[in-house]
Structure 1
């Protein structure tokens, strides 16, 4: 058995003792209460041994009373507890051992819970304070968060409470009930290819009408940003904010060259995707917007791995808020709601457009889920009702004329032209380049021909 140091005074064996550290004249109280196996520590704030003994005995008796009443023995500020929980969640996400939802939890803790509850004691979070938090949060963001987002916040709050109970900073009886005042998430409005092309035509005119150069630059970039999301399916904001030129590469495959994009951050961390080949004119246009790259070809810029953001305006600055600009654009163009479904549109409607186009194309749900950084369950939930009949009708070259709900869905999404032509048309509307890759990029054409000739054993 380890010998007790000379600076330790035992008041109650295995329950209460005083200890003075070599670098301090003050006595520290170490105590255990009830079934707690962990030693709790607090300073006596005195160097007098007799006084320290009295403080320790008083603290011990008060703590026993608190435990019998089902209250916390040690009180901690919410911020101190929440910071530990947030750091633990971040470490698990980084190590790949945590749930995907942990990223949502630590963001909620850092951005909402600690700023509001931080200076309150964790064992004194009351239902009234929870209600005040809801009002504060609504004022902070300017609107009532959807039910799904509030569920994430509530789960994050309970993670903090779980840890506080485990550490003895609060009792289970002191845990307040959370509430959800948000509405269920509504399906977003959809876009057809024709509507997106109409939107791009409007943006060209709208951009030229901007009084200030900053407005014209922002609107010009917005048009390219819209098409990029519609053609890649990335999450606007979360996955585009830190996207840089160095995250894009051209990879030569046996029959074609593909555009490979590594998204550095997003809803569930970083991920990779393969963009459609028709996207290259859009990248070329983004290169043209940035004067420092005027002497580089797109291929040279991609090979250079530049550590600069992809979405920058002509003056080199990054846009402050493309969400508001997109909302203004929809209102001015009269396209804020879908003609077919009447639902409000947002930037996420472009991601929905991408998924719909891929379903039309017959892409496997598993591949689409991986490409979009989501689950197969989510893809099936939103698109399984479209796939079987849509693909069958498309292959047969017919559009159903019956009055079923499935037929209405098919008519809503189907376009007369092939999906690939839709993408080329959309990219062309935003860049002014309508030619397919092999026609507009001779270098890529030659590379492809050389590869084919090698495969056929012919001399180039």
Structure 2
């Protein structure tokens, strides 16, 4: 046979043959098993026909044994299979032909499934491997994912297994049983501002109640971490883990300078937010935690675009267990559950606090959803009960302005104490720094000035 032609040798009619391309040195085995219409291919690794024939027979007989036992004839790495599925899902989402949930599936595949299962053969994933994955995932995010999120991960995993079964990389009998160890999605226990202030006061003493220096530093950082989440509404762990000083910038607007934060990673990727003005002293306290920044002002530090974590302990290390330390702190303070609803509290309760406060401030659901990186339906699901409070002044009605004794009596009960800015009180309890009223609450400042001008006018 001329050297420039392909070579083919039939070993078993319609079942087994050897094939070699004219530019290839090695023989390749092509084989089918039973009534299957699929031709499998595998290299023999040799250019010797006699040796290649023996290897081909061995491969064929081994494949027949696997097929009779109900096992996959050809095995593939999970990563190779999952990458194909992920690309398919992305293509359908981009084309607008896929379900909305497909975006959650490919994120689960890329962010969780491939990193853990990637090196396993897809037909060798056992229940023990699934259990190990659950432990790994909990350690990765710092808490156990809710049942709804685990359902998405399981659905994504089944998409990979479906494709593997279709391509005969595994059999249906080899599909492992999946489990869901998460709690059903419920609202977290809530905090009031007074409770958070009480908690901050407790942490100041609790931080020094241990002789372990690292534990002291972690508890000290936890105090600032708690208030940061309560003032920004970011997702603890997910959106704070890789947050660095370079992700913060100060932007000058017509009436004020604002704190702009780019969260590098999160539930749906990177996103941006504007932090409340009360966060200024908190950022400065985070700067003070790092001795290397002792000679820098907050302005200078932010301008440097430092590629270092925002949340670091005094020794410069990444905090090792903020989730567990927060739980220990609540337990020690006797605040593990909400007094109002009896539900257990977690770091996510601080995100709930932020949302509640902003709604009571008058922020509409659309603005809040964009600020918190979540959908309007999700905001409505959890906070629609606050709608009456959003229009509380209209519902309460006007106070009579006829200067009657009745009007004075109503006002006396309405205003028994000065107006308090809740967020300022919380930041002050955390940092010891209280912003001037004009920076914290321009509306209250204007009202105070108007009242003073009225009083001066009466005196004159």
Q: Under TM normalisation by the shorter chain, which class is it?
A: 0.7 to 0.9
SS of the equivalent of 2:107 reads: helix
- CA shift, 1:368, in A, is 1.4
- What TM-score, normalized by structure 1, do the two folds share? 0.76
Tell me the residue number matched to 1:85.
Answer: 82
Q: CA deviation at 1:102?
A: 2.4
Q: Tell whether the 8 Å contact from 2:130 to 2:178 is kept in structure 1 after alignment.
A: no
Structure 2 stretches of 5 or more lacking a match? 95-101, 398-415, 441-460
- How far did 1:147 drift? 2.3
Partner of 1:106: 110
Q: Which has the larger radius of gyration?
A: 2
Corresponding residue number in structure 1 for 2:162: 162
> For 1:215-364, what aligned pairs fall within 5 Å after superposition?
215-364=215-364
Distance 2:115 2:195 in 1: 36
Whether the aligned pair in 2 keeps the contact of 1:239 and 1:266 (CA below 8 Å) is yes
* SS of structure 1 residue aligned to 2:207: helix
Post-superposition CA distance 1:107-161 (Å, at most 9, x none): 33145545xxx54x53465xxx43x445545666599764224313312321321
Q: Equivalents in 2 of 1:395, 1:208: separation in Å?
A: 48
Distance 2:294 2:87 in 1: 41
Normalising by structure 2, we get a TM-score of: 0.76
Ranges in structure 1 where 5+ consecutive residues have no aligned partner: 399-415, 441-460
Q: Distance in 2 between matches of 1:104 and 1:341?
A: 33
Aligned length: 407
Aligned-residue offset at 1:331: 1.0
Moved more, 194-203 or 45-54: 45-54
Hey, what does 1:74 align to over in structure 2?
Answer: 74
Would you say the 8 A contact 1:7–1:20 is kept in 2?
A: yes
Partner Cα separation in structure 1 for residue 165 and residue 3 of structure 2: 31
- Could you tell me how far apart the structure 2 residues matched to 1:191 and 1:292 are? 35
Q: 1:420 to 1:17 in 2, by over 3 A?
A: farther
Q: Are the aligned partners of 2:85 and 2:160 in contact in 1 as well (CA < 8 Å)?
A: no
1:9-37 Cα shifts (integer Å, max 9, x gaps): 1536999541167564x421135677867
8 Å Cα contact 1:279-1:427 kept in structure 2: yes
SS at match of 1:221: helix
CA distance in 1, matches of 2:283, 2:238: 20
Q: Give the Cα–Cα distance (whole angstroms) in 1 for the partners of residues 73 and 216 of structure 2.
A: 61
| Partner residue, 2:365 | 365
> What's 2:20 paired with?
19
Q: Distance in 2 between matches of 1:40 and 1:271?
A: 46
Residue matched to 2:390: 391
Find the residue that maps to 1:281 and give its secondary structure.
Answer: helix
Q: Encode CA deviations 1:361-410: one digit per residue, 9 max, x unaligned.
A: 222222212211122221121112322x1212255559xxxxxxxxxxxx
Aligned mates of 2:293, 2:84 — CA distance in 1: 40
Larger mean CA deviation between 294-303 and 245-254 belongs to 294-303
Residues 1:147 and 2:147 are matched in the alignment: yes
Give 2:377's aligned residue.
377
Where does residue 449 of structure 1 map in the other structure?
A: none
1:347-368 deviations in whole A, cap 9, x for unaligned? Answer: 0110111111122122222221
Question: Cα RMSD between the aligned structures?
Answer: 3.8
Q: Tell me: CA distance 1:211–1:239, structure 2 relative to 1, closer, same or farther (3 Å).
A: same
Shift of 1:238: 1.3
Instruction: Provide closer, same or farther for how the CA distance between residues 311 and 419 of structure 1 changes in structure 2, counting only shifts above 3 A.
Output: farther
Counterpart in the other structure of 2:197: 197
Indicate how the Cα distance of structure 1 residues 179 and 221 shifts in structure 2: closer, same or farther if over 3 A, else same.
Answer: closer
